[in-house]
């Protein structure tokens, strides 16, 4: 399980530039799904026919893209200017290492040393547009040999096991969802599963919206890495999720209110099989669920999410135990989800 996650997080996939991830997932999906295609926006759609209720189609979504940056300019001193792609907290950037472009050119985002900072400078966060990437070039020409305007930029952060079964890496949001979904495709379920490995979630869910419109699902589950603020100094009610308490299910987030019946089914599946679970406590943050829900005449949606501390950074961290319980919960849900439709018939 960790092996697949390690491989997925090693791939570069800033929103709009998901090709490495797409190729990897497409190859894997071909081996276990009945049909695989890549749609016009670049999402991978893999279908696994159901063995009892194949006329019912459940869309399961995990996004391939990660937050990152894009090179927006190179100045005459050879410093590389950039813009953020996806929700980027500027405060986490100073002192990060990055990799630029398909050649993975190494760079650093640094700031003035403390000795040189005046008075109140130390107290102020640095604005994003004042930061640059240093690729070690002394002139524009030299830098242009290494990188180009438009190159995607990712955090340079290796997948590392640490502590008590924890993992640190960039892009856990949402390679963790991709890992869960690829593993899920190895089995067959009563319902038909349409696995959507979507593009561009971090910039508005374009991939998911198109895929939902095309595949007309009867229900959908979104697999995500989600915020986890169970750290020192954070009040109890603002922690959102907690490491080690299991996968989190979401009554409501910014883009979608989960379907109450689907939510109950997931909770019931967890309780039946003795899988630890928690609620995602809070409303902030959007996912592919909104765009999926609003396609065509609407789709009931819910989420299964894995708590990730320090999400949207190079040091996001999760618990492998939560990850494994998330896998169990997804399977248990897929084995039962046809009951949701029985009530309609």
| Of residues 235 and 274, the one with the C-beta less far from other proteins | 235
Can residue 247 be called a binding residue for other proteins (CB under 8 A)?
Answer: no
CA-based nearest residue to 94, from 134, 67, 65? 134
Can residue 257 be called a binding residue for other proteins (CB under 8 A)?
Answer: yes
- Interface residue with other proteins, options 77, 260, 271, 272 (CB under 8 A): 260
- 3-class DSSP string for 19-66: HHHHHHHHHHHHHHCCEEEECCCCCEEEEECCCCEEEEEEEEEEECCE
For the bound state, the minimum distance from the C-beta of residue 15 to other proteins, rounded and expressed in Å, comes to 22
Beta bridge partners of 57: 192
Alpha-carbon gap, residue 207 to 265, rounded angstroms: 27
Contact 271, 329 (CB under 8 A): no
Token pair 């159901």 is found at 50
Stretch 170-189: interaction string toward other proteins, x if CB under 8 A = --------------------
- Beta-carbon contacts of 297 under 8 Å, excluding residues fewer than 6 positions away, are none
For the bound state, the minimum distance from the C-beta of residue 31 to other proteins, rounded and expressed in Å, comes to 33
Burial class (CB in 10 A: 0-12, 13-18, 19+), 99: buried
Choices 107-115, 181-189, 230-238, 333-341 (CB under 8 A): range interacting with other proteins: 230-238
Can residue 134 be called a binding residue for other proteins (CB under 8 A)?
Answer: no
Beta bridge partners of 61: 196, 222
Stretch 295-314: interaction string toward other proteins, x if CB under 8 A = xxxxxx--------------
Can residue 343 be called a binding residue for other proteins (CB under 8 A)?
Answer: no
Can residue 55 be called a binding residue for other proteins (CB under 8 A)?
Answer: no
| Of residues 79 and 279, the one with the C-beta less far from other proteins | 279
Can residue 47 be called a binding residue for other proteins (CB under 8 A)?
Answer: no
Q: State the residues that interact with other proteins by CB under 8 A.
A: 235-238, 251-252, 257, 259-260, 263, 279, 281-283, 293-300
């Amino acid at each position: 399980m960790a092996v697949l996650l390690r491989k997925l997080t090693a791939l570069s996939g800033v929103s709009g530039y998901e090709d490495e991830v797409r190729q990897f997932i497409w190859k894997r999906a071909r081996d276990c799904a009945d049909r695989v295609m890549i749609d016009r926006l670049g999402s991978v759609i893999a279908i696994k026919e159901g063995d009892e209720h194949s006329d019912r189609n459940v869309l399961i979504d995990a996004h391939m893209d990660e937050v990152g940056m894009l090179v927006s300019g190179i100045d005459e001193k050879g410093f590389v200017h950039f813009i953020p792609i996806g929700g980027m907290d500027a405060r986490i950037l100073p002192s990060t290492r990055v990799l630029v472009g398909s050649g993975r050119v190494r760079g650093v985002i640094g700031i003035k040393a403390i000795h040189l900072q005046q008075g109140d400078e130390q107290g102020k966060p640095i604005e994003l547009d004042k930061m640059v990437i240093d690729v070690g070039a002394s002139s524009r020409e030299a830098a242009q040999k290494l990188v180009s305007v438009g190159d995607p930029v990712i955090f340079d952060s290796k997948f590392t096991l640490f502590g008590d079964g924890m993992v640190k890496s960039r892009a856990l949001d949402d390679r963790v969802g991709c890992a869960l979904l690829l593993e899920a495709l190895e089995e067959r379920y009563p319902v038909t599963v349409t696995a959507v490995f979507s593009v561009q979630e971090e910039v508005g869910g374009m991939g998911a919206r198109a895929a939902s419109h095309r595949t007309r699902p009867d229900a959908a589950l979104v697999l995500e890495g989600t915020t986890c603020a169970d750290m020192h100094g954070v009040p109890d009610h603002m922690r959102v999720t907690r490491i080690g308490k299991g996968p989190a299910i979401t009554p409501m987030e910014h883009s979608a209110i989960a379907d109450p019946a689907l939510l109950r089914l997931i909770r019931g599946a967890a309780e039946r099989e003795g899988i630890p679970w928690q609620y995602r406590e809070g409303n902030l943050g959007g996912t592919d669920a909104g765009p999926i829900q609003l396609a065509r005449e609407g789709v009931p949606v819910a989420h299964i999410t894995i708590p990730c501390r320090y999400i949207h950074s190079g040091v996001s961290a999760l618990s492998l135990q939560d990850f494994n319980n998330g896998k169990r919960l997804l399977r248990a849900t897929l084995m039962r989800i046809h009951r949701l439709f029985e009530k309609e018939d």
